[in-house]
Amino acid sequence: MTQRGYITPAWRKLGELPEKRYDVVVVGAGVAGMTAALSIDPSCSVALVSKAELAESSTHKAQGGMAVAVGPDDSVQLHFDDTMRVGQGACRKEAVAVLTAEGPAALAYLQTLGADFCRDGNGLTLTREGGHSCHRVANYYDYTGRHIAETLAGEVERRSNIEPIKGAFLVDLLTAAQGCCGCLVEVAGRLIHLRAGAVVVATGGYSGLFARSTNALSSCGDGIAAAYRAGVVLSDMEFVQFHPTAFTTLTGKAFLLTEAFRGEGALLLNEARERFMPAYHESAELAPRDVVSRAMLRETERQGGGSLYLDARHFGKDYLVDRFRQVYAELAKNNYYMERDIIPIAPAAHYTIGGIKTDLYGRTSLPCLYACGEAAATGVHGANRLASNSLLEGVVFGRRVAACINGSRVSTAVSGALCEGVLDRGPDLELSVLQSRLEAAAGVVRQADGLSSLLSTLKTGPKNEPGAADRRGYQASNAGRLAALLVEAALLRKESRGVHYRTDFPDKCDADAGKHTLQQWGKEAVLA
């Protein structure tokens, strides 16, 4: 297989690069990557590659919790039904069945590693979020993701078979006749060849490509871009979930206000300080995220601009300071006090549903390459992710990837392909310009003219040409490539479904229910 990589002629032969060998390389150290690494047979050597600090990961930023059917009024079937309903006809039923059925075991797994969840005298204090029909979200105050990430990271440090490789950027996946045989990473300006019998991509999503995002810029789809260059099939790249309640800090960044606020009774108010969601949906503030985000845009237009607000004042200070510790502290640093002030909010890109197409065990279209977490497109979220299903997905499918690898015979005795062929150069756009244009064309609301104009720029503009071990060039090229794939998929889906809303095709197309956009290097994108 021809490698469609970045590497300049000075680095073409792998033999010129320092090499390290492992049984398995896991790229990404969020909940999915760390779960996969920890669940691989301890007799296997594992490299756990991470690009940024733990606090930069989407897992670490997750506030609300983990949805799991363990409550007295809940069931696996009810969790399945809610996930399917919110997914708007685009979920893969088999994937949803796996997610919901294995949820209780995933929760128990985290608890065996030392993860804690809030309790009272009756057991777990489950909360409710948008789209759920009952209280089902296990949480650790409002920093559940951080708590889970720190628990997993502590266990990684205790495992002698796992070698963390920190500050490493995934440059390319390497292939041989039998499939993926390792990857190239850049560490401190130096390229290193990691050879392995299996590679797991758990690098997260690409919502950082948008100008307003709850995630860091590091969430820009590098693993998905590398898989695409290796010829792997991608799916559902048009589906990007925007979280309705994000606050703009004094630094200009979007800070997430967890959905648990609305789940526990916070209200959304317009400029006139009037509640508006009941006019848009029967579930009001507890409607799915796509519904709430679009309703907020319509309400802003209806009132001729101005702000919208989250009102949690009726909770009282003592409850807010205890239950929502992280959010209360962050807002206080920005001179807002939730027991006194209503908080200005606006939607922000939050989670990407599309990514590397996988089966129920994380296998991709390239042998020996696996994907899990937000980088993967399992079909479990359909056209709109049910709140707090993401941490659950990372644990469930991280464990399934490891189970599949454990049942295979991995070997590093393979020869890698030469890194030569087509250089995949992204458009020469300033990243801030790309983010703003993507926000305008492919945000909460889309239409053909804006999408087509941006795609034309992305395909025909001047190209970046990364030099050897040029991380900024790699990242800019990946950003342009991922943006083009997103926009192409959004143009292909000529309907509105879940988080994908087109003003020129405002209704669902029944004939497209259950269809997925599929994109692969050198082939025409299809909806099938």
Whichever domain contains 116, its CATH number is: 3.50.50.60
Q: How many domains, in total, are found in the chain? A: 3
Q: Give the range among 219-223, 224-228, 408-412, 466-470 with minimum mean pLDDT.
A: 466-470
Using an 8 Å Cβ cutoff, are 101 and 257 in contact?
no
What is the per-residue pLDDT across 396-451, written as a single tens digit (0 to 9) for each?
Answer: 999 999 999 999 866 655 554 444 334 455 566 788 899 999 999 999 999 999 99
State whether 79 and 221 are in the same domain: yes
Winning range, highest mean pLDDT, from 56-65, 213-222, 244-253: 244-253
- Tell me if 11 is assigned to some domain: no
Q: What is the CATH number of the domain that holds 261?
A: 3.90.700.10
> Tens digit of pLDDT for each residue in 72-127?
999 999 999 999 999 999 999 999 999 999 999 999 999 999 999 999 988 999 99
Predicted pLDDT of residue 461:
62
Identify the CATH number of the domain in which residue 470 sits. 1.20.58.100
**309 and 213, same domain (yes or no):** no
Q: C-alpha distances in angstroms, 420 versus 3, 229, 231?
A: 6, 12, 14
The answer to whether residue 4 sits within a structural domain is no
Q: Are residues 165 and 186 in the same domain?
A: yes
On the question of pLDDT at 298 being above 60, the answer is yes
pTM equals 0.94
Q: Which of 395, 417, 393, 486 is nearest to 446 (CA)?
A: 486
Tokens, residue 426: 């992204």
Residue 449: how many other CB atoms lie within 10 Å: 10
Positions annotated as catalytic residues are 289
**Average of per-residue pLDDT values in the chain:** 91
φ, ψ for residue 472, nearest 5 deg: -65, -40
Residue 2 falls within a domain, yes or no? no
pLDDT interval class at 393 (50, 70, 90): very high
pLDDT at 400: 98
> Per-residue pLDDT for 11 more than 60?
no
The reported pLDDT for the residue numbered 9 is: 38
pLDDT at 500 over 50: yes
pLDDT at 381 over 90: yes
CB of 500 closer than 8 Å to CB of 490: yes
Task: Answer yes or no: do 323 and 386 share one domain.
Answer: no
Residue 518 C-alpha from the chain's centroid? 18
Both 305 and 434 in a single domain? no
* Together in a domain, 339 and 355: no
Do 490 and 527 touch, CB atoms closer than 8 A? no
Give a yes or no: residue 186 inside a domain: yes
The pLDDT value recorded for residue 53 is: 78
Q: At 326, is the pLDDT very low, low, confident or very high (cuts 50, 70, 90)?
A: very high
Residue 121: the pLDDT is: 86
Block residue for tokens 């128990």: 108
Domain with 307, as residue range(s), is 243-348
User: Which has more pLDDT, 371 or 217?
Assistant: 371
Q: Which amino acid is at 259?
A: E
Phi–psi pair at 132, nearest 5 degrees: -90, 145
Let me know whether 228 and 143 are in one domain: yes
The answer to whether position 12 is within a domain reads: no
Domain contains 440: yes
Whether the per-residue pLDDT at 473 is higher than 90: the answer is no
Task: Point out the domain boundary residue: 301, 324, 348.
Answer: 348
Q: What is the pLDDT of residue 177?
A: 83
**Rounded CA gap, 475 and 503, in Å?**
32
Asked whether residue 472 is domain-assigned, the answer is yes
- pLDDT score of 462: 58
Tell me the pLDDT tens digit for each residue of 196-210.
999 999 999 999 999
Nearest to 372 by CA among 500, 239, 199: 199
Residue 392 φ then ψ, to 5°:
-60, -45
Res 2: pLDDT: 44
CA 12 to CA 14: how far, in whole Å?
Answer: 6
Same domain, 120 and 160: yes
- Predicted confidence at residue 418, as pLDDT, reads 42
Backbone angles phi, psi at 175, to 5 degrees: -130, 155
Verify that 103 and 215 share a domain, yes or no. yes
Task: Check residue 460 and give its pLDDT.
Answer: 77
pLDDT of residue 412: 57
Local confidence band at 475 (pLDDT 50, 70, 90 cut-offs):
confident
Inside any domain, residue 134? yes
Predicted local confidence at residue 122, as pLDDT:
86
The answer to which of 47-61, 174-188, 258-272, 385-399 has the lowest mean pLDDT is 47-61
Residues 131 and 169 in one domain: yes
pLDDT, tens digit (0-9, with 9 covering 90-100), for 140-150:
999 899 999 99
183 in the same domain as 308: no
Query: For a pLDDT cut of 90, what percent of the chain falls above it?
Result: 81
Handedness of CA 23, 394, 234, 52 (dihedral sign): negative
Q: Are residues 158 and 44 in the same domain?
A: yes
Range with the largest mean pLDDT of 58-62, 186-190, 288-292, 440-444: 440-444
Residue 8's pLDDT is: 43
Q: Please give the Cα distance from 327 to 352 (Å, whole number).
A: 23
- The domain boundary, picked from 348, 369, 396, lies at 348
**Among 379, 335, 324, residue whose Cα is nearest residue 355:** 379
pLDDT higher than 90, residue 12: no
When pLDDT is averaged across residues 318-334 and rounded to a whole number, the result is 96
Work out the average pLDDT over 365-391: 97
Mean pLDDT of 280-303: 96
